[in-house]
Amino acid sequence: VEKFRKDYKEPDYWVRNVDLLIQIHDGQTTVRGKLSAERRKGAQESATLRLDAEDVEVVSVLLNGKELSSSDYHFPEKDVLEIKCGLPDKFELETVVKIKPEDNTQLSGLYKSSSMYCTQCEAEGFRRITPMLDRPDVMAKYKVRIEADQKSCPVLLSNGNLVSKGEMGEGRHFAEWEDPFPKPSYLFAVVAGDLGSIKDTFTTRSGRKVALEIFSEHANVDQLDWAMQSLKDSMKWDEERFGLEYDLDIYNIVAVNDFNMGAMENKGLNVFNTACVLAKPSTATDSDYERVQGVIAHEYFHNWTGNRVTCRDWFQLTLKEGLTVFRDQQFSADMTSEAVKRIEDVRILRAAQFPQDDSPMAHPIRPESYIAMDNFYTATVYNKGAEVIGMYQTLLGKEGFRKGMDLYFKRHDGTAVTCDDFRAAMADANGVDLEQFERWYTQAGTPTVEAKASYSADKQRFELVLSQSCGPSPGQPTKQPYHIPVRVGLIGKDGKDLVPERVLELKEASQTFVFEGVKEEPVVSLLRGFSAPVNVKLPRSDEELAFLMANDQDSFNRWEAGQELFTRSILANVKAFQDGKDMELPQVIVDAAKRTLLLEDIDKSLQAYALTLPSLLTLGAKMDVIDPDALVAACKFVKESMAKKLRAEFETAYKSNQLPSEPFRNDADAVGRRRIKNVCLDYLMALKEDKYTKLCLDQALQSTAMTDLVAATSLLAGSSDEAARKQALENFYEKHAKGNDLILCKWFTMQAMADVTTSLSDVGALLQHPDFSLKNPNKCRSVIGAFAGNMKHFHAADGSGYRWLTDRILDIDKMNPQMSARLVSSFSTFRRYDQKRQALIKAELERLIATSGLSRDAYEIASKSLKA
Ligand code: ARG
Ligand code: ZN
């Protein structure tokens, strides 16, 4: 059944308190849930109480302490427990249910991961633990008693404060937790297991001493320090930037092996995928360190944006996710480099969100309907949602944005609200009109902003005509104009801005903006800092782009100009490849790249990103019809030609950016050096010469930094030098991956992504590897998800990749629908490919839909993808 945003109604009953007793026994867990509830004022007295209840075996139901006869309640439809007898205005309803965490392969609700019991309740997992009004606008205070075996589960955790614990005899013990803050059920959590931990404290600005503790399996306790540091940095940052302090005496984090997503912000008890929390120099890459820092911050920031102020209904998800992603991005920018972080975020947006916005799965950041809510934890809701929040800040300034945030908390602390409430707080705090801005929440699709420039030397006047348009998306044939902040600079011949930078507010379909006192004809720098999630169209010469690449004071647009140059050349070569003509690399690009490579006092990360080609997905989005073979060939050609011309420069930069192996550093300079060094290696390897294969193999065999090991081994995994390939992969497995699940995932991924002729059979073999498990989401993503991102081999013209993925989806769907649905979405962009591939994928989507017992999660993505 599909749910619609417009159908939102308050519930007939509120639950004010939840009192839980969770008795964990090996093989079976009993949950006694006591709900103190009351009828909503204004609700009909005859309104029935319909509790959500999924995969729970109801043993008994009690009303105000009296057991109900089985004729007083029933299951009118799947996953609903309805109370049939009359209910007083206020009452206590108690249920006793049995559940089997050991058999819960969906990883939603209470489940067992390795040796620990843990929960995931967002979005709708709480109902798999105990019957409840499982919706975010029902906020209750929780009290929890956990009982378990003392030996296998010495650690018993839940939200809030520990109020008592003790032994019960017969080898069992208990712990009681109480959370003073009312919360929606999706923020509930329980963990029980044999865990190690590290501890620290943080004293808030107003003097509250918070006990911090991060738990993991004992073997991983040496990989928790970076997460702890990141947590303390986040707590401090949120006080300084937004005046937000932590509100409990305890903050716990637990690392779990089997987890569908990255992490979860449960009140006072975050649960994390190990991939987003574990890090130490010998096992984590620089990007792993960055991810841990970002996700720790993200979940911490949810304490205010998500927990203290939560969502009224799931259509509002971006209210907390877009805002919290924006906050973690700002934090990471402050911890590392604003310019580098901005480039990384835009790269992700373009590779993951732009294609979605141009597919049958396109949806506004605030969707209008869903079948399975878990399908809407998307790049659109998260990443485009964060861009929309960023536009408020661009329009209102940092101070204005802060005023809006302050008002938002003042008005809504402790309640469940909507995206409109957030927008109203921003508007009211600043006395501005943000009516039109709502369209970012109602319309899907990536707008295009087209610019036409004209200059009058006489009048020293520069005019910019900006027009906007946005193509159709599902259910939205036409679009209304957006309110778009366009940050603009005008650059003179000397490379300096001629007039102060401006943020133009484009609100009409087309608008003219005039700049006076412009002394010479400028080069316009449009959409600085990527001030809106749009595509820009502006006719320019290659030379103009090279000029911007070298001179724009906006580091984002310097990078952007280079990307545009690369994109042009690659797309031109795609055409040449298709027409059987010779491919060519324009000299301007070589010169521009050379200049970048020779810059002395440049941030090395910026240098590295400036020389990195746009991702295949980003390039594909710019093609009328994606031709995987031509695209891969054109990229290879550009890389190889560049390497031929700049061989000496790449070699020099490779050597000069080596770092001593001791001591390990992960400061910005060290990270930047590794980044540029590995970009150079990538270019040199494109030459396919023994000399460079040897260089790469040396790095693969001898490095101590995981970043360097992964970079070199990945390159060799795609090498046609069989011996070197084998040696590197074996070495990586034996010396680094064996016995470490997260590194094994890296090893799987580099093989699944490799461009080698045996690709599909190699990947098939990985599934048989003793270290692989279909039940573990990280492993699934690392092999199956990664292969679905292998542009050339997943899209093999004979459809073998498509068939293989469908078979895997069907295997996984029986165990874990959230996971299988994610994989189905690899097919969603199929209309962007040629007719033959479209037909092949369509057949696979139809095969999925025709499968009896397919989960609603997978069904939703497959059926929506097929809609025209
Ligand atoms: N709220 C979590 C976050 O920090 C994500 C939870 C997603 N859960 C899910 N079942 N889709 O972003
Ligand atoms: Zn989140």
The string of DSSP codes covering 401-433 is: HHHHHHHHHHHHTTSEE-HHHHHHHHHHHHT--
Dihedral pair phi/psi, residue 460, rounded to 5°: 50, 45
- Average pLDDT score, the chain: 98
Ligand nearest to the CA of 325: 2
For 194-234, the pLDDT digits (tens) are: 999 999 999 999 999 999 999 999 999 999 999 999 999 99
Q: Check pocket membership of 261 for ligand 1, CB cut-off 6 A.
A: yes
Q: Check pocket membership of 122 for ligand 1, CB cut-off 6 A.
A: yes
Q: Return the sign of the alpha-carbon dihedral for residues 130, 136, 139, 142.
A: positive
Tell me what pLDDT residue 482 has: 99
Residue 818 Cα to ligand 1 midpoint, Å, equals 11
How are strands ordered across the β-sheet holding 80-83? 49-52, 80-83, 73-74
From 264, 818, 822, give the residue whose CB has the most ligand 1 atoms within 8 Å, as the site to mutate.
Answer: 264
Q: 546-559 burial, b if ≥16 CB within 10 A, otherwise e?
A: bbbbbbbebbbbbb
Tell me what pLDDT residue 663 has: 92
By annotation, the residues acting in catalysis are 299
* Mean pLDDT along residues 442-471: 98
Q: Do the beta carbons of residue 257 and residue 776 sit within 8 Å?
A: yes
Q: Check pocket membership of 265 for ligand 1, CB cut-off 6 A.
A: yes
pLDDT category at 157 given cuts 50, 70, 90 is very high
Tell me what pLDDT residue 59 has: 98
| Residues flanking ion ligand 2, Cβ below 5 Å | 321, 324
Q: Check pocket membership of 126 for ligand 1, CB cut-off 6 A.
A: no
Residue 582 Cα to ligand 1 midpoint, Å, equals 48
**Position 106 pLDDT exceeds 90:** yes
Helix boundaries (H) for 585-735: 587-598, 604-611, 616-620, 628-645, 647-656, 668-685, 690-702, 706-717, 722-732
Tell me what pLDDT residue 562 has: 98
For 129-138, the pLDDT digits (tens) are: 999 999 999 9
Q: Which atom of ligand 1 is nearest to the CA of 299?
A: 4
Tell me what pLDDT residue 41 has: 97
Helix boundaries (H) for 753-789: 759-768, 777-780, 786-788
Tell me what pLDDT residue 646 has: 98
Name the closest-CA residue to atom 4, ligand 1.
Answer: 264
**Position 590 pLDDT exceeds 80:** yes
Which residues is 310 bridged to in the sheet?
A: 416
The percentage of residues in the chain with a pLDDT greater than 70, rounded to a whole number, is 100
Ligand nearest to the CA of 327: 2
SS3 breakdown of the chain: % helix, strand, coil, rounded to 5? 45, 20, 30
Residue 360 Cα to ligand 1 midpoint, Å, equals 23
Dihedral pair phi/psi, residue 833, rounded to 5°: -100, 175
Name the closest-CA residue to atom 2, ligand 1.
Answer: 264
Q: Return the sign of the alpha-carbon dihedral for residues 781, 784, 786, 789.
A: negative
Q: What is the DSSP letter of 383?
A: I
Residue 302 Cα to ligand 2 midpoint, Å, equals 7
Question: In sequence order, what E strands does 289-413 have?
Answer: 310-311, 369-370
Tell me what pLDDT residue 597 has: 97
pLDDT category at 787 given cuts 50, 70, 90 is very high
Q: What is the DSSP letter of 303?
A: T
CA torsion 356-630-347-370 (nearest 10°) is: 10
Q: Check pocket membership of 708 for ligand 1, CB cut-off 6 A.
A: no
Residue 379 Cα to ligand 1 midpoint, Å, equals 12
**For residue 750, which amino acid is it?**
M
Q: Do the beta carbons of residue 146 and residue 192 sit within 8 Å?
A: yes
**Position 868 pLDDT exceeds 90:** no
Dihedral pair phi/psi, residue 49, rounded to 5°: -95, 115
Q: Which atom of ligand 1 is nearest to the CA of 321?
A: 12
Tell me what pLDDT residue 661 has: 87
How are strands ordered across the β-sheet holding 13-25? 66-67, 57-63, 90-99, 28-39, 13-25, 139-149, 172-184, 161-169
Q: Nearest-CA neighbor of 805 among 822, 618, 817?
A: 822
Q: In whole angstroms, give the CA distance from residue 486 to residue 554.
A: 14
Q: Which atom of ligand 1 is nearest to the CA of 373?
A: 11
Q: In whole angstroms, give the CA distance from residue 466 to residue 608.
A: 32
Q: Check pocket membership of 328 for ligand 1, CB cut-off 6 A.
A: no
Q: Nearest-CA neighbor of 730 among 747, 710, 742?
A: 747
Dihedral pair phi/psi, residue 789, rounded to 5°: -100, 5
Tell me what pLDDT residue 170 has: 97
Please state the pTM of the whole predicted model.
0.99
Tell me what pLDDT residue 866 has: 98
Residue 298 Cα to ligand 2 midpoint, Å, equals 6
Q: Check pocket membership of 264 for ligand 1, CB cut-off 6 A.
A: yes
* Mean pLDDT along residues 583-600: 97
* Mean pLDDT along residues 625-648: 98
Q: In whole angstroms, give the CA distance from residue 107 to residue 120.
A: 7
7, two tokens: 């159908």
- Beta strand 172-184 pairing with 190-193: unpaired
- Beta strand 209-216 pairing with 250-256: parallel
Q: Check pocket membership of 134 for ligand 1, CB cut-off 6 A.
A: no
Residue 144 Cα to ligand 2 midpoint, Å, equals 24
The percentage of residues in the chain with a pLDDT greater than 90, rounded to a whole number, is 100
Q: Which atom of ligand 1 is nearest to the CA of 377?
A: 11
Tell me what pLDDT residue 576 has: 98
Ligand nearest to the CA of 323: 2
For 276-295, the pLDDT digits (tens) are: 999 999 999 999 999 999 99
